[in-house]
Amino acid sequence: MTDDCICATATPMGNGGISVIRLSGKEAVAIAAKVVRCRKGSLAEMKSHRLKFAEFVAETENGAEVLDEGVVGIFRAPCSYTGEDVVEFSCHASPYIVRRLLEALVAAGARMAGPGEFTMRAFLNGKMDLSQAEAVADLIAGESKAMHDIALGQLRGGFSSEIEDLRQRLLDFVSLVELELDFSEEDVEFADRGRLRELLREIAAKVDDLRRSFQTGNVLKEGIRVAIVGKPNAGKSTLLNALLHEERALVSDIPGTTRDTIEEVWQIAGVKFRFMDTAGLRQGQDEVERMGIGRTLEKMRQAQAWLYLFDMETMPLEAARQEVETWKRRLWADAGGDALEAMGNMPVIFVANKVDAVGRGAEWVGDTVYLSARESLGMDLLEDALRELIPEMPDANAVVLTNARHYEALGLVKEDLGRIFEGMESGLPGDLLAMDIRSAIDHLGLITGKILTDDVLGNVFSRFCIGK
């Protein structure tokens, strides 16, 4: 455990009912005692996991100033979130009170915590592994039930146990390979090569399954990006407002009103969708509109699906299909390889708008939804069509990869496994074979923090909020 004591607010700053300030470190109780007045007993005498009503004070030139009355709680090491002594103050959520209380704690010997420092101490003190620590950040940031369930499962160690099982199986085997080196003169074989091949196939299959799950996990974490595109005045902003059930985008009969992209999030079937309202697709009439159309094209490249909206009064469906192919070819002009293939496979939902104006009812036929965005007619059918974009949800107990760092580490493991297979086929000596197996073990250890670098630690915990 580190010697210094850190403090931070664990709740968002701003006016509210209660704020929680957290203090962690070897001297947490002693420092807290300098800013707490208990009506009965003292903090030093408090047992762990107890609460006490108290006054919070700050030393000034004129003596102690009472800042607030509230509740103080103690969680003694190692039975705390960080594994250190932790003191938590529940005070009224006045920004003035919170600021003064933090200043009082710093004056008493603490320092302000950095981003994620409480969770980093929990990791360093063995309260959780690195993948569980990352799950804390995902749980805080999760905006959908699906992402919440995955993050909670990872926090409880579901993903960690999968990785540790793979790592331990390789460790057991490499130990036998290395034991052979001690008996090299007797030409004995403790590690059955046939069993090693079988083990490698099992691990490779598991690694491939986890890597494949990343596509689903990334969708659940980041959401499905859907670009709403079409000609000016087709009703794109009206459609966005109807999807969100609020007046989010400015609506006007003047063509070219939308000159910048508007991005909003909405959940459908527990999955986050990122809808991007874009400028109308046409030749820009002025520099600002041309810039807006340029941004539209960029959002179309970034999207995972398009809603192509067209006005039934002025454009038939076949013309809309031709228009989409034209814009795909324009985007392809700057793309190559995988980008070209991805653009060709881009899912497109055609949205035939203004059915009320042509006397037609709402309907969903194939890849086309007929609706009226202005009258919110047929919006339920559009939501049903959007549900088709959601990948197959994993089983409740399935492990789903959501972290790009984990995905990259498993990619290195896959490369290691490939080298081990090649080495066995070519009769690689045991000492060199052991090096490749150790490399796979180390790359698995990067995920859980068994193998650690300062760069990895800094990158992981810099994404956290201060106070967590």
Quick one: pLDDT at residue 236? Answer: 87
Tell me the two tokens of residue 171.
């460790």
Q: Which residues contact 360 (CB under 8 A, 6 or more apart)?
A: 312, 370
Range of the domain at 43: 6-127
Burial of residue 375, with CB atoms counted within 10 A of its CB: 0-12 exposed, 13-18 middle, 19 or more buried: middle
Quick one: pLDDT at residue 259? Answer: 43
Lowest mean pLDDT among 137-141, 252-256, 450-454: 252-256
Query: CB neighbours (10 Å) of residue 11?
Result: 16
Q: Is residue 446 part of a domain?
A: no
Quick one: pLDDT at residue 281? Answer: 62
Strands (E) in 149-261, as ranges, are 224-230
- 329-355 average pLDDT score: 74
CA distance 351 to 367: 9
Q: Which residues contact 209 (CB under 8 A, 6 or more apart)?
A: none
pLDDT at 138 over 80: yes
- 367-378 average pLDDT score: 94
Phi, psi of 271 (to 5 degrees): -115, 140
Quick one: pLDDT at residue 406? Answer: 93
Phi, psi of 309 (to 5 degrees): -100, 130
More confident residue, 420 or 255: 420
CA distance 43 to 35: 11
pLDDT at 253 over 50: no
- 379-400 average pLDDT score: 86
| pLDDT band per the 50, 70, 90 thresholds, residue 452 | confident
pLDDT at 350 over 80: yes
More confident residue, 237 or 15: 237
CA distance 176 to 228: 59
Q: Is residue 64 part of a domain?
A: yes
Query: CB neighbours (10 Å) of residue 273?
Result: 24
What is the per-residue pLDDT across 312-323, written as a single tens digit (0 to 9) for each?
999 999 999 998
Quick one: pLDDT at residue 257? Answer: 47
Please state the domain count of the chain: 1
Q: Is residue 106 part of a domain?
A: yes
Q: Report CA torsion sign: 250, 252, 258, 263.
A: positive
pLDDT at 161 over 70: yes
More confident residue, 103 or 343: 103
Lowest mean pLDDT among 38-42, 122-126, 205-209, 402-406: 38-42
Q: Is residue 109 part of a domain?
A: yes
pLDDT at 179 over 60: yes
Question: Which CATH number covers residue 68?
Answer: 3.30.1360.120
Q: Is residue 156 part of a domain?
A: no
Tell me the two tokens of residue 218.
């990334």
Q: Which residues contact 70 (CB under 8 A, 6 or more apart)?
A: 53, 54, 56, 89, 90, 91, 92
The answer to whether the pTM exceeds 0.85 is no
CA distance 37 to 54: 6
Phi, psi of 427 (to 5 degrees): 70, 35
- 265-291 average pLDDT score: 72
CA distance 422 to 328: 42
Q: Is residue 426 part of a domain?
A: no
Q: Is residue 108 part of a domain?
A: yes
DSSP assignment of 273-298 equals EEEEE---SS--SSHHHHHHHHHHHH
Q: Is residue 83 part of a domain?
A: yes
Ranked by mean pLDDT, the top range of 49-53, 211-215, 229-233 is 49-53
pLDDT at 173 over 90: no
Q: Report CA torsion sign: 333, 337, 339, 342.
A: positive
Q: SS3 helix, strand, coil % of the chain, rounded to 5?
A: 45, 20, 35
Q: What percent of the chain has pLDDT over 90?
A: 47
Quick one: pLDDT at residue 385? Answer: 96
